[in-house]
Amino acid sequence: MSTVAAIDLGATSGRVVTGTVHRGELHLREVARFPNTPVRLPDGLHWDVLGLFSAAMTGLGRASREEPELRGVAVDSWAVDHGLLRGDRLLGNPYHYRDERNEAAVAAVHAVVGPEELYRRNGLQHLPFTSVFQLAAAAASGDLTLADRVLLVPDLIGWWATGQQLAERTNASTTGLLRLDGAGWDEELLDRLGLERGLFPDVVDPGTPIGPITAAVREEFGIAEGLGFTTVGSHDTASAVVGVPMTDEDAAYISCGTWSLVGTELPAPLVADEARRAGFTNEGGVDGRTRFLTNVMGLWLLSESIRAWARGGQEHDLPTLLEQAGAVTGPVPVFDVDDPRLLPPGDMPARIAGLLTERGSPAPASAPALVRSILESLARAYAAAVEDIERLTGRPVRTVHLVGGGAQNALLCRLTAEATGRPVVAGPVEATAIGNLLVQARTHGLVSGDLEALRAVVARSTAPRRYEPDR
């Protein structure tokens, strides 16, 4: 019974999880969990990527001591953010995708490549923090003139651990700079935007062995010898989609965490202009699949509201808030969860109240009522996205799989079933870690088969909860 480890870095926390395949089932154990807290400096909002690396390697060291059969490790994280390097030196902590500087770069990029052409080239939904815009902002500030390499966050962690620089394909597909077919960087686009081809490492598939952890890192963090890094779907949503126990094509998924990704799986990109106008993106998936999805603001609205209340001296326990929100009777106002004013950190309850006031709706009078309004609004946004998926792909959606942290939110799952008019299958909560571990397990020969075979392992290993719409 060999074991592999996943380093799963989320927007609010990271953890090290081990997985062992036994008799066709995957058994998980969380070894370490650590916070991921952005840092605001005079020049903007940054990630503490050095602290993340140290915490991840410390957790991996513990896993290697407690799991004598540990064979390998892989890392996944959020997309688009990256480190700029010069030689072996990191040129400052990476900027956070919620930093305001990205918005000014959108016009500069679109002046060179219009949004319609950009969508035909990379298939991505317009988001102002996509890497292509972030790199334009770095060029405008002069930061890029000092750099000779760009590494996305999982690739940066892998480089520090192994000394090998590369770009994993699913995460590279979120930069806006990869060719639509995923075969490599769009060199014509790079030239037009004034980005040097040498900034970007070679692109590799999920399931590629990178190499062993260096002796220096092993010694520093007490990691056992012989532990090798591999790539997985290093964009956390790519791993999460592997961990969705879908059994047929007539299904959509919602990977629900800080962001909610509502989508389906296609054999190839769909870049009709109608899809662009609907805000759908085509991102690389494991085994060459296309993740056809749209980004919805997600549980950021809830977590940022709780932080705002805490700053004002009102401490709220989330389980209690959700219970109280479920007891709210009568209609609550709904709002556009994707309004760009809700993207940056700040006083989320006040911003939501402002949106509602603009449209002549009264703001919720209590914290439970606001939580209910957030969840109702998210469910409506999910339902609209599911309807768009049917319309754009021409395929019916009969079941909605909701995975990730949101699968624990029974109220959200119930509201989503009501709004979509379809059964919601909630779970697994740990879909991202599961997808990471299963791709590794296949690389090491612990399981075999295609994506459907991996999902069959998920189905055997988990017990999702089903929510039926009340018609």
**Residue 406 maps to which CATH number?**
3.30.420.40
Strand positions, DSSP E, 220-329: 228-230, 251-256, 260-266, 281-284, 290-296
Strands 13-22 and 25-35, how do they pair? Answer: antiparallel
In the prediction, which pLDDT does 100 show? 86
Alpha-carbon gap, residue 123 to 186, rounded angstroms: 12
- pLDDT, one tens digit for every residue, the chain (471 residues): 799 999 999 999 999 999 999 999 999 999 999 999 999 999 999 999 999 999 999 999 999 999 999 999 999 999 999 999 999 999 999 999 999 888 889 999 999 999 999 999 999 999 999 999 999 999 999 999 999 999 999 999 999 999 999 999 999 999 999 999 999 999 999 999 999 999 999 999 999 999 999 999 999 999 999 899 999 999 999 999 999 999 878 999 999 999 999 999 999 999 999 999 999 999 999 999 999 999 999 999 999 999 999 999 999 999 999 999 999 998 999 999 999 999 999 999 999 999 999 999 999 999 999 999 999 999 999 999 999 999 999 999 999 999 999 999 999 999 999 999 999 999 999 999 999 999 999 999 999 999 999 999 999 999 999 999 986
Q: Are residues 276 and 407 in the same domain?
A: yes
Q: Are residues 49 and 89 in the same domain?
A: yes
- For residue 144, what are the domain limits? 3-234
In a domain, 439, yes or no: no
**DSSP states along 384-407:** HHHHHHHHHH-----EEEEESGGG
Q: Are residues 323 and 409 in the same domain?
A: yes
In a domain, 10, yes or no: yes
In a domain, 390, yes or no: yes
Q: Are residues 179 and 290 in the same domain?
A: no
The domain total for the chain is 2
Structure tokens at 97: 């995708």
- The residues facing 49 across adjacent strands are none
In a domain, 452, yes or no: no
Alpha-carbon gap, residue 219 to 120, rounded angstroms: 48
Where is the domain boundary, 183, 202, 234?
234
Q: Measuring CA to CA, how many Å separate 239 from each of 134, 187, 211, 255, 437?
A: 24, 27, 21, 10, 9
In a domain, 29, yes or no: yes
Q: Are residues 271 and 309 in the same domain?
A: yes
Q: Are residues 284 and 394 in the same domain?
A: yes
pTM score, whole prediction: 0.95
In the prediction, which pLDDT does 370 show? 97
First to last CA, the chain: 47
- Helix 318-326 and helix 410-420: axis angle, to 10°? 40
The residues carrying an active-site annotation are: 236
In a domain, 435, yes or no: no
In a domain, 455, yes or no: no
Q: Are residues 276 and 332 in the same domain?
A: yes
Asked if 420 and 211 count as a contact pair (C-beta separation under 8 A), the reply is: no
Q: Are residues 188 and 273 in the same domain?
A: no
Q: Are residues 109 and 210 in the same domain?
A: yes
Where is the domain boundary, 234, 260, 286?
234
Q: Are residues 313 and 167 in the same domain?
A: no
Residue with tokens 């991505």: 124
In a domain, 461, yes or no: no
Q: Measuring CA to CA, how many Å separate 178 from each of 172, 173, 340?
A: 6, 5, 25
In the prediction, which pLDDT does 471 show? 62
